[in-house]
Amino acid sequence: MIDLSDLKAVKEALRAQRIETPSWAFGNSGTRFKVFAQRGVPRSPEEKIADAATVHRFTGIAPSVALHIPWDRVDDYGALTRYAKDLGVEIGAINTNVFQDDDYKLGSVTNPDPGIRRKATDHLLEAISIMDATGSRDLKLWFSDGLNYPGQDDLRDRQDRLAEALREAYDRLGDHQRILLEYKLFEPAFYATDVPDWGTSYAHCVELGPKATVCIDTGHHAPGTNIEFIVAFLLRQGKLGAFDFNSRFYADDDLMAGAADPFQLFRIMYEIVRADALDPSHGINFMLDQCHNIEAKIPAVIRSVLNVQEATAKALLVDRDALRAAQRAGDVLGANAVLMDAFNTDVRPLLAELRTEDGLDPDPVAAYHRSGYQQRIEAERADGQQAGWGA
Ligand code: AOS
Ligand code: ZN
Ligand code: ZN
């Protein structure tokens, strides 16, 4: 059993933890079959930011919100940034969208038509200009580009086109800005995807230079993939830039982080702790990328933040000296037991204590329900808008 009495260092590490919420998690979303509308969802980027600020108010560890262009397009990004600041949050990663336009049927930056490639690359450059105005560090790129049929286009030419667009965006980055290149095994393309896996993303990032790093979306792998290995590998190479946390049972389900496989989340967070990469100064952006199709959105985002926090607390509890000793001694069962001991520890009392010490409610979800915020937004926001996916 782990001794929970003297945990000063663990608490300090948890206090420094930061999780970024996605603006699109607060809006209506659904599957390709149906979008179930909810009452009180945001009608504007400002209202999404207000909801993100509410999540931060109850959790204390979610002080930034990622935007998505064009879903969060406004005339004055400086004003939006100030609005966010006044509510106690910052604007985080800027996500691009080169997947919701008829022009992109055959791809965006890898499209065989140079005119369409130009349009897609210009969107990436526009996103960097928005980052200049918001002070954002991260440009997050996910390309839906790919092929449905063998022979449809030239696999290798498409890599050249991708590299060319990435280079143009990279060269436009300011000193403190960087590219996060996300990968995804399949969907919407089914035969071949142009950035299908971490290796492809990693290779492009290496080619680009130090300001390009990989974003791991936990829902974007084949079943059974050992994600913590990818985390460990990329950390060792200094090429892990960010996470899009969410849960998957089958494909890119975008369910709440830590809901489907809390053990996997713990194993991932252990690799982060193992590399001393939890602190924001290390530069990893721990984001959520989720859509709450049937559950209430704000409590679901709060729950997800808490799930990541719980997995982190358990990872911090791993007795690393004992683990290393067992590993060096070749004690297979002993080493495994050290890890499982931490995973099986109930960290909820510790986290409740931490929140109370920091002036937060020990139970953020219950506090949210008591706060009256949900009733207020349901009354104030007559008709919400789509998050974008169902639009
Ligand atoms: C798509 O499957 C990805 O997970 C992206 O991160 C996407 O850009 C994000 O969900 C919002 O645009
Ligand atoms: Zn993602
Ligand atoms: Zn995804």
What is the structure's pLDDT at 387? 59
Domain count, the chain: 1
- The enclosing H or E element of 342 equals helix 332-343
pLDDT (mean) for 195-200: 98
Cα separation, 189 vs 72, in Å, equals 25
Tell me if 4 is assigned to some domain. no
Percent of all residues in the chain with a pLDDT value above 70, rounded to a whole number: 98
Cα separation, 92 vs 56, in Å, equals 14
ipTM of this model?
0.97
Tell me if 171 is assigned to some domain. yes
Q: To 10 degrees, the CA torsion angle through 182, 260, 234, 92?
A: 50
Instruction: Give the environment of ion ligand 2: residues with CB less than 5 A.
Output: 217, 244, 289
pLDDT in tens, 100-135: 999 999 999 999 999 999 999 999 999 999 999 999
Is 96 close to ligand 1, i.e. is its CB under 6 Å away?
no
Given pLDDT bands bounded at 50, 70 and 90, which one contains residue 391? very low
| Cβ-contact 275, 235 below 8 angstroms | yes
Tell me if 238 is assigned to some domain. yes
* Ligand 1, atom nearest to 291 Cα: 10
pLDDT in tens, 182-194: 999 999 999 999 9
> Which residue, judged by its Cα, is nearest atom 10 of ligand 1?
289
Residue 155 buriedness (CB in 10 A; 0-12 / 13-18 / 19+): middle
- The pair of three-digit structure tokens given for residue 97, joined into one six-digit string: 């969208």
What is the structure's pLDDT at 388? 61
Query: For all residues of the chain together, what is the average pLDDT?
Result: 97
Cα separation, 21 vs 30, in Å, equals 18
Cα separation, 218 vs 242, in Å, equals 11
Q: What is the DSSP string of 302-315?
A: HHHHHHHHHHHHHH
> Ligand 1: distance of its center to the CA of 22 in Å?
10
Is 0.95 topped by the overall pTM? Answer: yes
> Ligand 2: distance of its center to the CA of 219 in Å?
8
Tell me if 134 is assigned to some domain. yes
> Which residue, judged by its Cα, is nearest atom 7 of ligand 1?
142
Is 90 close to ligand 1, i.e. is its CB under 6 Å away?
no
Cα separation, 351 vs 313, in Å, equals 8
pLDDT in tens, 218-260: 999 999 999 999 999 999 999 999 999 999 999 999 999 999 9
pLDDT in tens, 295-310: 999 999 999 999 999 9
Tell me if 357 is assigned to some domain. no
User: Minimal CA–CA distance to 221: which of 256, 259, 251, 242?
Assistant: 251
3-state secondary structure of 260: coil
Q: Give 299's contacts (C-beta < 8 A, 6+ positions apart).
A: 365, 368, 369
Q: Give 224's contacts (C-beta < 8 A, 6+ positions apart).
A: none
Pocket test for ligand 1, best of 217, 248, 250 (most atoms within 8 A of CB): 217
Tell me if 166 is assigned to some domain. yes
Length of the chain equals 391
Residue 181 buriedness (CB in 10 A; 0-12 / 13-18 / 19+): buried
Is 182 close to ligand 1, i.e. is its CB under 6 Å away?
yes
* Ligand 1, atom nearest to 187 Cα: 2
Given pLDDT bands bounded at 50, 70 and 90, which one contains residue 1? confident
Q: The tokens 């713990």 sit on which residue? A: 266
> Which residue, judged by its Cα, is nearest atom 1 of ligand 1?
142
Tell me if 322 is assigned to some domain. no
| Cβ-contact 305, 62 below 8 angstroms | yes
Is 290 close to ligand 1, i.e. is its CB under 6 Å away?
no
> Ligand 3: distance of its center to the CA of 266 in Å?
20
Tell me if 224 is assigned to some domain. yes
Looking up residue 22, the CATH number of its domain turns out to be: 3.20.20.150
Is 161 close to ligand 1, i.e. is its CB under 6 Å away?
no
Range of the domain at 230: 18-310+362-380
> Ligand 1: distance of its center to the CA of 225 in Å?
19
